[in-house]
């Protein structure tokens, strides 16, 4: 009888040991950054293309201004950003803040440390290109002689 009790106890101990070894951890690691975050944080973004939609529906590429060429936005994985651009008064103006995706990751919302909020509606995003969704509707633009042309929309593309 003593032998049977020891055998049963030993069997239960071994079964408990096997069960405890086979349990999986209940803690899960944090998910890796999603593809949009990886693409957005892949490097500094500079404005690379400025287009306006003509009345016939075609998009016309315009030369970037010096100010547009100087603009740089850098988004970081910790959801902070820095931006810089040439100042009208000389030098460079720099801003910082936080960013997040909203609207099922179709919009980037930026809250600046100066207290303003701005958004970029995403048309397309990859590791090398961020195309803003076209802003459709009247867009008036004066030329060098002051003649104003009204287009049917505007869009910008950023690259590295």
pLDDT recorded at residue 85 = 96
- The parts of the chain modelled with pLDDT lower than 70 are 1-33
pLDDT recorded at residue 6 = 45
Interval 89-109: pLDDT, tens: 889 999 999 999 999 999 999
5 domain-assigned: no
22 domain-assigned: no
129 domain-assigned: yes
83 domain-assigned: yes
143 domain-assigned: yes
Helices (H), 23-56: 35-40
What kind and span of H or E run contains 3? Answer: helix 2-22
- Tokens at residue 76, please? 């970081």
3-state secondary structure (DSSP) of residue 6:
helix
pLDDT recorded at residue 97 = 98
19 domain-assigned: no
Rounded to two decimals, what is the model's pTM? 0.74
Q: Is 40 exposed, middle or buried, given 0-12, 13-18 or 19+ CB atoms closer than 10 A? A: buried
Tokens 């960013």 — which residue? Answer: 99
Q: Which structural domain, as residue segments, surrounds residue 110?
A: 35-159
pLDDT recorded at residue 89 = 87
The CB-side HSE value for 137 (13 A sphere, CA atoms) comes to: 2
pLDDT recorded at residue 146 = 93
pLDDT recorded at residue 13 = 43
Query: What 8-state DSSP symbol labels residue 114?
Result: T
Number of domains in the chain: 1
Domain at 87, CATH number: 2.40.128.280
């Amino acid at each position: 009888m003593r032998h049977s009790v020891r055998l049963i106890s030993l069997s239960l101990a071994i079964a408990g040991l096997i069960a405890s070894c086979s349990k999986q951890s209940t803690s899960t690691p944090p998910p890796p950054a999603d593809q949009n975050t990886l693409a957005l944080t892949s490097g500094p973004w500079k404005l690379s293309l400025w287009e306006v939609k003509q009345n016939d529906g075609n998009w016309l590429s315009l030369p970037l201004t010096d100010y547009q060429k100087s603009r740089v936005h850098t988004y970081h994985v910790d959801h902070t950003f820095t931006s810089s651009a040439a100042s009208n008064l000389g030098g460079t103006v720099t801003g910082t803040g936080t960013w997040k995706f909203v609207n099922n990751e179709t919009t980037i919302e930026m809250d600046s440390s100066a207290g303003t909020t701005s958004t970029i509606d995403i048309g397309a995003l990859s590791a090398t290109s961020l195309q803003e969704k076209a802003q459709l509707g009247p867009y008036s633009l004066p030329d060098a002689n002051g003649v104003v042309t009204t287009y049917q929309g505007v869009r910008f593309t950023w690259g590295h």
